[in-house]
Amino acid sequence: MTSASDRIRQLLDAAGMARCLDEMAAAIYQRWKGEPRLALVGVYQRGVPFARALRQRLRDRGMEPDFGKIDITQYRDDLQTMTVLPKLEGSEITFDLEDAVVILCDEVIHTARTTRAALEELLGFGRPRCVQIAALVDRAGRELPLYPRYSGIETDLPAGERVCVRFVDGDGVDEVFTCPWEKK
């Protein structure tokens, strides 16, 4: 857990996060209203509460998207460099992906390697008609040609910093801030 003294600067407070989530949900609604096969799939770990927050806002607009969770641990390309291996959560897709519109949700997109891994895992569950990416924070530094269709904010940070996101759902507070980069 990052302490207040580790923060470099706040990018979004709770009100800013709410505004970004509202705008993203509005854009998804505009594009997919009337779509009977819409699903939001969150990438463990923080993509899950992000997807839940978007889903609630879409429900408030009268949509009922399916909800799933993706665990990318088996598809990571950096496992051999990690000193502490991530916990295997397991993916939960309890609905049929065939011909569905899927919005893959992760709190931050940076290099896009997590997104690549999530796509590999997702496609093991079926063949969606369309997959789009939603990220609360779009950080510069892409290594793969994958970009979010829906994003809250864009930022470019020095190599020694990373974006940290907390959600009320799980962390007790909604906020986005920068913090020192600690290699795993």
Query: What does the domain layout of the chain look like in residue ranges?
Result: 15-77+87-157
Give the CA dihedral 144, 174, 104, 100, nearest 10 degrees. -160
Looking at residue 82, its pLDDT comes to 46
Between vectors from CA 17 to CA 15 and to CA 18, what angle results, nearest 5°? 65
**pLDDT by position in tens, the chain (length 184):** 555 556 689 999 999 999 999 999 999 999 999 999 999 999 999 999 999 999 999 999 999 999 999 998 876 555 455 455 556 678 999 999 999 999 999 999 999 999 999 999 999 999 999 999 999 999 999 999 999 999 999 999 998 999 999 999 999 999 999 999 876 5
Q: What fold, for 15-77+87-157?
A: Rossmann fold (3.40.50)
Residue among 73, 64, 70, 68 nearest 35 (CA): 64
Residue 130 phi/psi, 5-degree rounding, is -155, 140
Cα–Cα distance list, 32 to 7, 68, 70, 131, 161 (Å): 37, 18, 22, 12, 35
Spatial distance between the Cα atoms of 12 and 177, rounded to a whole number of angstroms: 7
Give the model's pLDDT for residue 7: 67
Query: What is the C-alpha to C-alpha distance for residues 73 and 87, in angstroms, rounded to an integer?
Result: 8
Model confidence, pTM:
0.89
Q: Are 134 and 105 in contact (CB under 8 A)?
A: yes
Peptide bond connecting 45 to the previous residue in cis, omega within 30 degrees of 0:
yes
Place of tokens 């510069």: 140
What does the alpha-carbon distance between residue 16 and residue 20 come to, in Å, rounded to a whole number? 6
